[in-house]
Structure 1
Amino acid sequence: MSVAAEAPRKFGWYHGWTIVAIATLAQVASNGMPVNAFTLFVVDWSSNLNTPVSTLQLAIALLGLGSAILAPFAGGLADKVPARTLLVTGLGLVALFHVAIGAIFATWQFLALYGVVLPLGMALSTSVITNTLVSRWFVRRRGLALAVTSFGLSGAGVVLPPIIAALLPLLQWRMLWMGAGTLIGLVMLPLAFWLVRDRPTEEDGLHYVSAPGDQPVSGAAAHVEVHWREVFRRRTFWIVVATYLPLLGLWGGVNQNLGPIASSRGLDQSAVGLLLSLFSGAQLGSTLLMGLLSDRFGNRRPLAMLAVIAATGGIITALGQGMIGLASGIVLVGMGGGLWPLIASAIANEFGAAASGRAFGLTMAFLPIMAFAPFAIAKTHEMSGSYVPGLIGIAIVTLVGGGICLLMKE
């Protein structure tokens, strides 16, 4: 039987791309103000709550810890509970979080919201859930679909901060947060409720859920139980973890220390702003490129290549002088942030769309390990007076991770 007979191409709009759009917007809603624009609010929060900025920064650490703890459980739910239920619940919690932040009057309230409510909301409305959902709708063009979905992570960092910075003097931070929560509740919740479906049907067309020479995967055939022990037994799972952790650690370490690194090279705040834009723009472009390469070449070679590119950028960032030298390194490291479609696609290919939620959730459980990278780079600078040892060290580990990636079988 020919591929065309197995999965005829249905012309017209494929609902899977609507799913991608909802998944992207859900990640923008969940990450945009709480994470990407966090730094724009800390001065006002510090003044209004009479709290040191360093104490407020604990919120991001609590968010990371809570998200890592919840990720495996969210992955298990993603494989069993309808995605509509999870997304609506998660976005409802995110909307509640935004409104509540606008009403806080004590530091403990702020930390509790970031440490409890936001991790719950994000666990049910971001990568673990959305990548699993998108993987069910795509086998063909899966890399591209996951890349577009990941725009919710990187795109929010490019688009939202300038908008919020312009509105903040006019509306004040409380009104911005309450307004954002209301917008999420009135727009995103209805969209998720009415448009999200778990899987395509024959009416949608099964072209995108079949690979050349394969039968389309849909309905009961898509439900294959994979237990947590089986996930841990797979070599590909550990190769993915060993590759993405140092790569993400280098990316986060440079991102969080970019201001001090630039200052140590004699650059002013305007230069730092430009470098941040270059960093986020490089991540955005890399995300799309990696999705396209995933569809064309698989995930092993693009992921290994990305590790080499980012490691090279880390070395240039450590040794480069002046704006041009530092910008060159920053762009290459920023490209490392395009790893997410490759990671999600590799997990989906290994475990199948029906079990990718649990596997991806377990993969994300290792995130706290990389959370120490920014601290390690900053601490090394405090001890040695230079960023070179810390950046070179994590760049070397990233190169090792890229080499390990070549052991992945596809």
Structure 2
Amino acid sequence: MTRTTTDPAAPGRTRSGRNRRPHPAWTVAAVAFVALVGAAGFRATPSVLLHPLHAEFRWPLATISAAVSVNLLLYGLTAPFAAALMDRFGIRRVVAAALLLVAAGSGLTVFMTASWQLVLCWGVLVGLGTGSMALAFVATVTGRWFVRLRGLVTGVLTAGGAAGQLVFLPLMAVLVAEHGWRVAALVVAGAAVAVVPLVVWLLREHPADLGLPAYGATEVVPPTPPAGGAAARAVRVLAQAARTRPFWLLAGGFAICGATTNGLVGTHFVPAAHDHGMPQTTAAGLLALVGLFDIAGTIASGWLTDRVDSRVLLGVYYALRGGSLLVLPGLFAATAEPSMLVFIIFYGLDWVATVPPTVALCREYFGASGAVVFGWVFAAHQVGAAIAATGAGLVRDQLGSYALAWYVAGALSIGAAMLSLLLRRRRLTPPAPAAVVAAAPRAWSYRG
């Protein structure tokens, strides 16, 4: 009997020359992309609800922004625990439960009468749900299923967030304008429920479960059952990573990344443009264009991450973002002027281009724990986003303008570029025996 093996140079073909079906990794990546599109759309919705909620309930913008901040904060803090839960209970169960949480949180908002209920529904429930489908989910999927083209696939899945923004934001703005914010909230709830059957049916756990190697690998590697509970593992990994210099440099830069994207632009661009006389639907369309160009920028960043030093990429991305935010206050007008469109294109290409190199660096420094470590780095991203969301709302309430918030964000982005360039290359020590590594998981071979 002849043994047939997969040719790693041509993953869709055996060495005997016979064609095979596409590797199941691509089906898993496609389902993950759909879930990420939905999660991004759910997170983008609050930016078009700020003014309608303020007009109906007379809640201060800072109060409504606080609910968004809770959402952003939990979106980040849930990520490392979700990554550990995926190792413990499986990707499929965690993602399906997360979608149901989003549906409950969004659907229940139509009954709210007090601001604390907004914090509970949109802040806590939707924050926990979307956090379980955050970028640590991307790191988990690509880490399990891909060896070849890992950076590119990371970029494509990350771009799913931009695609979700592109699909949902204009729709939400039109629904809010024509039918009210409650209809928009129910559409989000229905969309979340609709994705659950797809996840349960097609989202697989490990390639080894199908008797296959990861895409681009040559050996079937059985999954290693995690030791202890998921929460304990997440905390243990944080304690180990926090002893290293790279963790704090990556977390610091990514906190600024969150502050200057989701927290500030994602939450306050639409109301800031509205302050200058721009219709809310036009401003939402511009923010959706950011998502369109981010798809191209993030996929290109994934391609570059497979080829260029990730430290250099991060330094360039943050510096360019800082320059664009410093000029933004002078671009707002009642109509979408050409200068604003140039900003949208430029900023969009850089929106989450930082994710693929950050994921790659977490794997480089922290090995098998890289996905959970990235979850904590992403938590820092969302802490920065939450601070910026509330801070910008306070700036607007106190000064009557967002200008100071844009200037501070630009300066912070340039600081993030400097943090990224301080990262040093990892120098490997001779590998320890597998048993030793298992017994002492914190012995990551990082020096300097």
Q: TM-score, normalised on structure 1?
A: 0.81
Residue among 320, 343, 351 paired with 2:358: 343
What amino acid maps onto 1:13 in structure 2? P
- Give how far 1:333 is off: 3.4
On the 8 A contact 2:149/2:306 being kept in 1, the answer is: yes
What amino acid maps onto 1:22 in structure 2? V
CA deviations 1:267-317 (Å, max 9, x no partner) are 844875565344333322211111111123352332222223223323444
Question: Who is 1:77 aligned against?
Answer: 85
Moved more, 124-133 or 145-154: 124-133
Q: Check if 1:22 corresponds to 2:7.
A: no
What amino acid maps onto 1:90 in structure 2? A
Q: Check if 1:287 corresponds to 2:294.
A: no
Q: Check if 1:184 corresponds to 2:192.
A: yes
Question: Who is 2:203 aligned against?
Answer: 196
Residue among 45, 48, 71 paired with 1:37: 45
How far apart are the structure 2 equivalents of 1:256 and 1:36? 8
- Give how far 1:329 is off: 4.3
C-alpha RMSD of the superposition: 3.7
On the 8 A contact 1:377/1:390 being kept in 2, the answer is: no
- Give how far 1:206 is off: 2.8
Superposed counterparts of 1:131-280, under 5 Å = 131-168=139-176, 171-185=179-193, 187-201=194-208, 205-206=212-213, 208-210=215-217, 216=219, 218-220=221-223, 227-251=237-261, 252-256=263-267, 258=269, 268-269=278-279, 272=283, 275-280=286-291
On the 8 A contact 1:158/1:280 being kept in 2, the answer is: yes
How far apart are the structure 1 equivalents of 2:176 and 2:32? 27
How far apart are the structure 2 equivalents of 1:36 and 1:259? 11
On the 8 A contact 1:154/1:283 being kept in 2, the answer is: yes
What amino acid maps onto 1:390 in structure 2? V
Q: Check if 1:393 corresponds to 2:411.
A: yes
How far apart are the structure 1 equivalents of 2:298 and 2:103? 27
- Give how far 1:258 is off: 4.1
What amino acid maps onto 2:370 in structure 1? S
Question: Who is 2:372 aligned against?
Answer: 358
CA deviations 1:24-46 (Å, max 9, x no partner) are 2222323313x212232334434
Moved more, 222-231 or 302-311: 222-231
- Give how far 1:136 is off: 0.7
On the 8 A contact 1:23/1:126 being kept in 2, the answer is: no
Question: Who is 2:444 aligned against?
Answer: none
More helix by percentage: 1
On the 8 A contact 1:128/1:360 being kept in 2, the answer is: yes
How far apart are the structure 2 equivalents of 1:403 and 1:377? 31
On the 8 A contact 2:79/2:378 being kept in 1, the answer is: yes
How far apart are the structure 2 equivalents of 1:257 and 1:192? 32
Question: Who is 2:441 aligned against?
Answer: none
Identity, % of aligned positions: 22
Q: Secondary structure at the residue paired with 1:355?
A: helix
How far apart are the structure 1 equivalents of 2:363 and 2:178? 45
How far apart are the structure 2 equivalents of 1:223 and 1:217? 18
CA deviations 1:301-360 (Å, max 9, x no partner) are 3222222322332344467799445544454333332212222233234434x5333212
CA deviations 1:133-186 (Å, max 9, x no partner) are 23211111111211221123211222212223334455544344334423432x
How far apart are the structure 1 equivalents of 2:425 and 2:286? 34
What amino acid maps onto 2:103 in structure 1? A
Cα gap change, 1:12/1:296 in structure 2, threshold over 3 Å: closer, same or farther? farther
CA deviations 1:92-133 (Å, max 9, x no partner) are 211222322233344332221123222221232332234312
CA deviations 1:223-245 (Å, max 9, x no partner) are 79884333223443333223333
How far apart are the structure 1 equivalents of 2:131 and 2:321? 28
- For structure 2, the 5+ residue unaligned runs are 13-19, 228-232, 428-448
Superposed counterparts of 1:80-159, under 5 Å = 80-159=88-167
- Give how far 1:263 is off: 8.0
